[in-house]
Amino acid sequence: MTRLSPVVLIVEDELLLRMDSAEVVENAGFEVIQAANADEAIAILTRRPDIHVVFTDIQMPGSMDGLKLAHFVRSRWPPIKIIATSGLVRIEDVDLPAGSVFVSKPYRGPEVVAVLRTLTGSA
Amino acid sequence: MSEFGPIDDYRDLFENAPCGYLTIGPDGRITKVNATLAAWTGFEADKFIGRRLHQFLNMAGRIYCETHIAPLLRMQGFFSEFALDFETAAGERLPVIANAAERRHADGTLLFTTLVVIKATDRRRYERQLVDSRSELQRGLATERETAELREQFIAVLGHDLRNPLAAISAGARILQRSGALQQQKELRVLDMINSTVSRMSDLIDNILDFARGRLGGGITLHRDARPLEPVLEQVVDELRTASPQRLIETSFEIAEPVNCDRTRIGQLASNLIGNALTHGAQDQAVRVGARTDGAEFKLWVANAGEPVPEAAMQRLFEPFFRGEVRRSRQGLGLGLHIASQIAQAHGGRIEVTSTPDETRFVFTMPLTPAASG
Amino acid sequence: MDVLARNNVRVSGRRDRAMVFAHGFGCDQNMWRFVAPEFEDDFKIVLFDHVGAGGSDLSAYDAAKYSTLHGYADDLVEIGRALGLKDAVFVGHSVSAMIGVLASLKAPDLFGRMVLIGPSARYIDDGDYVGGFTAKQIAELLDFLEDNHMGWSAAMAPSIMGNPDRPELGEELTNSFCRTDPEIAKAFARVTFTSDNRADLAGVTIPTLILQCSEDIIASEEVGKFVRSRIPGSDIVFLKATGHCPNLSAPAEVVSAIRAYV
């Protein structure tokens, strides 16, 4: 019995936060891939064509932060939906690709799951 | 100064007036000067005759003469209260205030121009000091604004950097809880303690950053609404009960009317007052919390039993970092009451405290309708 | 931003060919009151105030834009375009002489002839070039301007627009011809007296007349002759009038000199 669950890529440098979010999202019926930074995320996205949503933190170390990653993803793989999160900036101050969703930290599991369900049409 | 003549000798009044006089002919050359001005400038009167006014001024005065004084005289016939700098024979500056007026014939031809000057060393110096300090003030204000912006950014980043690891700890606790690997009562209690400790740390960070913001001129900004206040107060009490399960907190809330306030901030105020009571009150007695509206005001009080607050401490309770005499184990930063009083003020209210051997009571009162904003 | 309102532009006279008057440092368009009307029968007279002077819109003052004379020259070109001027006569006094030169370089079709009264391509001495002032003297001037706010009050600014032909209007009009925001006055003075347009003179392609006064400490004969020597094909007339503002002190002489040239 195969179940085609939407695939979510979670990009977050804080390990415990990433693990917690991954568990919550998996328990809600999604397939989860994890990346610790933008470089890892791009490597994964290049290998796997089946990712539906990228859920990324904005403040991350490395060559790109989450904002640049979001724009990169939109330009390379336009169909992929994007959720961005941050505890520092506010929605008014960020310039996300059109159709992206912003969630401010601290976010609650059910909140993120609800957004994922809307974005993947599996509400 | 020439000899004084009889009192109605106009010539004498002219020559020895307490001000300088100059008359300038229609060709722009000086025709008369009085003894006073000659004495002030150190030039003999005959040195003036036939020369032009600007020859006795410094360069700035000369330019000003040509670009402002002469045109204004020509266009409106007079010019009053302008500053001018003469150059004395000794090469020194003589600052004056001057009035000038043209005299014209009925047919419009210029007859002469009179100039009256009054020494104004002190006045000019005073005015210059005013101008200089205003410039300095403006520069200072600009720097202040820049610094304030940088500080605000710093506080925001600091808050974020401090809260991130806390969020990670909470996330870790959630993971453990979900895993079902922890079965023992004791182990589950440890998870609860992790959560409540993280919560305490988070409040501490909030208080510190509030303090930093408030002290650095930002102040506490409120986001007011009239949504129900009771659930917020109930939640605050619940969290404190969880953190101190062996303590008794009794509540009595009768909030009959909507309270227009910043609920998060009032919750913070309540939490700080109750926390203070738990820390300093008798450990084996209940802390009583009540809130109600009565027409014009909203009141929130927190009372505890135990040793009364010493008289000396009463004056200083709401000062930042004031900790009083407290058991070593529970020091805290001494900011809770200070922040509470700031929140009270921001709402146009106040906190009063009474302390007797029977009970210590903090009462927060605020008007239901803001008298003047904020 | 309405250019004509910004610069308090006033147009009068009956003809097609325009004569534009530009005031210099210190005052506003009212300084042409004895000269401009003399040409109303033969020209369309255009008077205006530089931003920061007279009845101009002070809120349009931008420190960065007006930190060089080019900002003022751009305004002059804008006014010309807004009025559809072509081949007009330009009469510029003092620093406006150079402003006019710059404007004609930016928009060569705007003016057909120029009359420069008391021009100076550079005020501060430079090696062999005698501008007439040292840098120190200019610094003293800027300080001195602060000592003379002339009753300026930001609150009074809107009421400065008076009718200069009716002096009985009294208090509000006192000093209004030369009074402006002291900060702007100081900035305009700095821009004027630290300007250097010697290199721009050679690019002028239209007939130019220089009116030079005697005993003008701001723009001496030497300075006027320098301008004459660098503008190709230009002429110079030495006025008997003394001082820097012959348009006020000897208007008849100025009028006939201009009339003879146009």
User: At A21, which CATH number?
Assistant: 3.40.50.2300
> Which residues from chain B sit within 8 angstroms of residue A14, using beta carbons?
164-165, 167-168, 171
Q: At C180, which amino acid appears?
A: T
> Do B68 and C243 lie within an 8 Å CB cutoff?
no
Is-catalytic flag, C70?
Answer: no
pLDDT at C201: 95
* CA–CA dist C101, C203 (Å, integer): 9
Residues contacting residue B321 through CB under 8 Å, at least 6 positions apart:
B333, B334, B335, B338
- Give the sign of the dihedral formed by CA A75, CA A76, CA A77, CA A80: negative
- Strands C44-48 and C10-12, by their bridges, are antiparallel
What CATH number does the domain containing B182 carry?
1.10.287
In this structure, the answer to whether residues B239 and B337 fall within a common structural domain is: yes
DSSP B194-236: HHHHHHHHHHHHHHHHHHHHHHTT-------B-S-SHHHHHHH
In this structure, the answer to whether residues B280 and B263 fall within a common structural domain is: yes
In this structure, the answer to whether residues B183 and B291 fall within a common structural domain is: no
Element holding C139 (H helix, E strand): helix C135-146
pLDDT band at C80 (very low <50, low <70, confident <90, very high): very high
A16 and chain B: CB distance < 8 Å anywhere? yes
Q: What angle do CA B40, B44, B50 make, to 5 degrees?
A: 110
> Do A15 and B157 lie within an 8 Å CB cutoff?
no
Place of tokens 């007939």: C207
First vs last Cα of chain C: how many Å apart? 33
The CA distance from B336 to the nearest CA of chain A, in Å, is 23
Tell whether B84 is covered by a domain. Answer: yes
* CA–CA dist B338, B320 (Å, integer): 5
> Do B167 and A14 lie within an 8 Å CB cutoff?
yes
Find the CB nearest C27 among B60, B62, B71: B71
C vs A contact (3+ beta-carbon pairs below 8 A): no
Residues paired with residue B352 on neighbouring β-strands, in sequence order = B363
pLDDT at B7: 62
Q: Give which of C33, C94, C146 to mutate to test B binding, by max B Cβ within 10 Å.
A: C146
Position C154 pLDDT exceeds 50: no
Task: Count structural domains, chain B.
Answer: 3
Position C93 pLDDT exceeds 90: yes
> Do C245 and B74 lie within an 8 Å CB cutoff?
yes
Greater model confidence, C117 or A87: C117
* CA–CA dist B203, B29 (Å, integer): 82
Chain B positions with Cβ closer than 8 Å to C? 27-28, 52, 54, 58-64, 66-68, 70-72, 74-77, 79-83, 85, 124, 127-128, 131
Q: Which CATH number fits domain C3-121+195-261: 3.40.50.1820, 3.20.20.70, 3.30.70.2190, 3.10.129.10?
A: 3.40.50.1820
pLDDT at C1: 66
Say which range, A19-28, B237-246, C47-56, has the weakest mean pLDDT.
B237-246
In this structure, the answer to whether residues B335 and B374 fall within a common structural domain is: yes
Closest CA to C28 of C124, C164, C232: C164
Work out the burial of residue A7: count CB atoms within 10 Å of its CB; fewer than 13 is exposed, 13-18 middle, 19 or more buried: middle
B167 and chain A: CB distance < 8 Å anywhere? yes
Residues contacting residue B156 through CB under 8 Å, at least 6 positions apart:
A88
Those residues of chain B that have pLDDT short of 50 are: 1-2, 327-329, 373-374
Tell whether B2 is covered by a domain. Answer: no
> Do B160 and A23 lie within an 8 Å CB cutoff?
no
CB pairs under 8 A between B and C: 95
Q: Taking phi first (over 0 means left), then psi (-120 to 50 degrees means alpha), and beta for anything else, what does residue B117 get?
A: beta
- In order of B269, B333, B334, B338, the CA distances from B276 in angstroms are 11, 11, 10, 11
A26 and chain B: CB distance < 8 Å anywhere? no
Question: Which residue in the list C74, C216, C220, C234 is annotated as catalytic?
Answer: C216
**ipTM tops 0.85:** no
pLDDT at B299: 96
Is-catalytic flag, C216?
Answer: yes
> Do C140 and B60 lie within an 8 Å CB cutoff?
yes
Find the CB nearest C140 among B28, B59, B74: B59
Tell whether B125 is covered by a domain. Answer: no
Is-catalytic flag, C93?
Answer: no
Where in the sequence is the domain holding A18, given as residue range(s)?
A: 7-120
Task: Count structural domains, chain A.
Answer: 1
Position C168 pLDDT exceeds 60: no
Find the CB nearest B175 among A23, A59, A106: A23
> Do B156 and A87 lie within an 8 Å CB cutoff?
no
Tell whether A50 is covered by a domain. Answer: yes
The b/e string for B327-341 (b: 16+ C-beta within 10 A; e otherwise) is eeeeeeebbbbbbbb
Where in the sequence is the domain holding B313, given as residue range(s)?
A: 220-374
Chains in touch with C (≥3 Cβ pairs < 8 A): B
Tell whether A83 is covered by a domain. Answer: yes
In this structure, the answer to whether residues B255 and B183 fall within a common structural domain is: no
The CA distance from B167 to the nearest CA of chain A, in Å, is 7
